[in-house]
Chain A
Amino acid sequence: MSNSKNTGRIKHLKQQFAFGIFRLFSLMVVAILFFILAFIIVRGAKVISWNFLTGMPEEGMTKGGIFPAIVGTFLLVIGSLLFTFPVGVLSAIYTNEYMKDSWYKRFIKLMTNNLAGIPSIVFGLFGMSLFVNTLGFGDSIIAGSLTLGLLTLPVVIRTTEEALKSIDNSFREGSYALGATKLQTIRKVVLPMAFPNIITGLILSVGRVSGETAPILFTVAAYFLPKLPHSIFDQVMALPYHLYVISTSGTNVEESRPMAYGTALVLIAIVLLVNILANALRRYFSKKVKMN
């Protein structure tokens, strides 16, 4: 009797111990996140000003603003999404709605997964040889956008596929049974239902595109270019590359530190914003569904 009581206590102690460790580690993860955020926000907040956001870099990037980089990143995001979003969504529709389960479908899926797994620097190399050199775009917004677009293509495809898959087949059958064609079914039933999740995926890929550095290193990013681009064949500055440059190889690394903090803060702000927006959207739509 006392023996079993003892085992019970040991059992309980073991659990307490294990759970304690799990709690501690989880807390650490959260602490790391908060530390990074707090560190950059606190240091960066001192730098952020209207002038910083809208001004040109000055004095070897130790003073002034990061306006061209913000504009550049914005253009790259728009450019890449213009390519990725239609191609990705259409591709996901085709594989999910049209293709029967075959080796070819599995092959395409495998290719999409592989594309997702390729390191971003490889995309950079590829973008440089295809868009910059072979197609002759030079270092330009279009080359950078297409490279970034390729990088996010699997993300968009996957989230769209997930969104489409989450729609119960009975809705499609219901539509077909009423004499709707495939296209009508997709347009009027499937896509409207998948829309919230597709948009959420799109927003998250905005976050990804705006933070990527490696793919734009050799395709678009300019080291120092205190003017705004005139065409899609111009080079631009971009926030992540700018941060890299001024924190490692600027004319004066120490003096441009505050600028780096500011840039990092802007980058983080974009990510935060994107996440909040995506979560809010998700919650809004799921609530709407529940209400229904």
Chain B
Amino acid sequence: MRNSIKRFVEKISESILFLSSTVTTLSVLLIVIFLFKEGLGIFNKDPIEEGQMVVINKNNPIRKVVSADIKNIFDQNITNWKQVGGKDDSIILFRMDDIGNYFTEEQLGDTFQFVPQCLAKLVDSIPGIIAYIPSKYFNKDFPARELPMEKITVGSFIKGKEWFPTAQPAAQLGVYPLLIGTLIVSLGAILIALPLGLATAIFMAEIASERLRKILKPLVELLAGIPSVVYGFFGLVVIVPFIQQVFHLPVGETAFAGSVVLGIMALPTIITISEDALRTTPRAMKEASLALGANKWQTIHRVIVPYASSGITAAAILGIGRAIGETMAVLMVTGNAAVIPHTWLEPVRTIPATIAAELGEAPHGGLHFKALFALACILFIITMAINLFVAYISSKNKMSKR
């Protein structure tokens, strides 16, 4: 009897434990589902707000226009249909706000009940017109043709050179500048952090006395513990003005500032992981090198560092991963300009910073909102790939050292 109760309790607790163990997997799964459900929603859609559309005169032979050209047309950078492969005819822009320029209030009616007819007349009469109108006015009898727009594809999303999700009528959803921004900031961070971090790791693992190491180690942990928003704040009040002064820039909020802050933030990751890797070098190996007459430095750079190289690689990659995903500090110091930077001393905008900055203003369920989720998908894929790669390195490493 007692034993059967024992066994029952045993089974129950095991099930509870099992359920807990599935939480992480479930979370990852849910994250994937939620991110990609929203994020993939932007693809194969017109880059236009729902309920709106762009129409042209029936006789306009133009077949297809990419969304970048639409923006240029509405920004009046393109003024002739010829430029986008149509007839030689100047482009007449029409937005709903402009309706007053063409019709009087009486024509439109007290309750604007005549708007559809007015619009029809307008579009029909001007051959070079391009009109951005609510799609509710567009029906069978409407004497115009919807301008077929290139749908948003994965390719255009990745390669698009402009990020302007709130552009009217066609949102510009090009991740390229953000991607470049993210990479340039992260790469810069790792260029700063790797030499510093590796040197510190070597110093701690091989050169410093045990006492000094016992002081350094908690300091590094402390560095890791400081919240990113504090780093961001520090960057904002110290590093940004400093860079502005030193390089005589109009603004200090630059990719470089982001790199410096991220570099400092990546230091603990790099130091801890490389130090652990360096410490795994078997004592016998070090002693063998020393016994052959090598001095400490030769032993370090010929035996210990090569032995720990895969661990150090993992540290560097994880450092990059951290930097790529970091949000707040970058958001606060990089200036957030969504343009492709040419030098380090220009403002940039990274993917996580974009999400953080824009999500608050993006209407729920809209194209912009979904585009931000698509950004998160990219971020997720990048960090996932980095994690898998690091896991692969360390598992291979474990195998070969066995």
Residues of A at the B interface (CB closer than 8 Å) are: 11-12, 14-15, 18-19, 21-26, 28-30, 32-33, 36, 39-40, 86-88, 90-91, 93-95, 98-99, 107-108, 110-126, 128-130, 133-134, 150, 153-154, 157, 181-183, 204, 207-208, 210-214, 217-218, 240-241, 243-244, 247-248, 257, 260, 264, 267-268, 271-272, 274-275, 279
Given contacts A25-B196, A126-B30, contact A119 B222 (CB under 8 A): no
Q: Which of A153, A211, A217 contacts B226 (CB 8 A)?
A: A211
Contacts of A90 in B (CB 8 A): 16-17, 20-21
CB pair B234–A40 under 8 Å, yes or no, is yes
Given contacts A108-B24, A121-B352, A218-B359, contact A26 B227 (CB under 8 A): no
Shortest beta-carbon distance from A279 to chain B in Å: 6
Verify if B218 is at the interface (C-beta below 8 Å from A). Answer: yes
CB pair B199–A91 under 8 Å, yes or no, is no
Shortest beta-carbon distance from A259 to chain B in Å: 11
Q: List 17 A-B contacts (CB under 8 A).
A: A22-B202, A22-B203, A40-B230, A86-B20, A94-B17, A108-B21, A114-B384, A116-B387, A119-B324, A119-B325, A125-B359, A125-B373, A213-B228, A218-B360, A240-B229, A244-B332, A267-B230
CA distance A121 to B134 in the complex (A): 34
Shortest beta-carbon distance from A102 to chain B in Å: 13
CB pair A210–B227 under 8 Å, yes or no, is yes
Please, what's the 1-or-0 string for B63-82, where 1 marks a CB less than 8 Å from any CB in chain A? Answer: 00000000000000000000
CA distance A31 to B168 in the complex (A): 50
Shortest beta-carbon distance from A24 to chain B in Å: 8
CB pair A119–B233 under 8 Å, yes or no, is no
Q: Which of B6, B24, B326, B360 contacts A157 (CB 8 A)?
A: B24
Shortest beta-carbon distance from A189 to chain B in Å: 16
Given contacts A98-B18, A214-B356, A243-B230, contact A111 B372 (CB under 8 A): no
CB pair A32–B264 under 8 Å, yes or no, is yes
Shortest beta-carbon distance from A221 to chain B in Å: 11
Contacts of A32 in B (CB 8 A): 223, 264, 267
Contacts of B372 in A (CB 8 A): 125
Verify if B355 is at the interface (C-beta below 8 Å from A). Answer: yes
CB pair A122–B24 under 8 Å, yes or no, is no
CB pair A33–B38 under 8 Å, yes or no, is no
Q: Which of A29, A108, A124 contacts B271 (CB 8 A)?
A: A29
CB pair B383–A119 under 8 Å, yes or no, is yes
CA distance A257 to B373 in the complex (A): 33
CA distance A33 to B221 in the complex (A): 11
Please, what's the 1-or-0 string for B222-246, where 1 marks a CB less than 8 Å from any CB in chain A? Answer: 1101111111111011100000000
CA distance A218 to B356 in the complex (A): 9
Given contacts A29-B220, A32-B264, contact A267 B35 (CB under 8 A): no
CB pair B359–A275 under 8 Å, yes or no, is no
CB pair B230–A268 under 8 Å, yes or no, is yes
Determine the residue in chain B with the shortest Cβ distance to A133: B364
**Interface centre among B27, B325, B383, by most A CB within 10 Å?**
B27
CB pair B238–A91 under 8 Å, yes or no, is no
Given contacts A33-B222, A114-B387, contact A248 B199 (CB under 8 A): no
CB pair A247–B236 under 8 Å, yes or no, is yes
Q: Which of A94, A128, A182, A271 contacts B227 (CB 8 A)?
A: A271
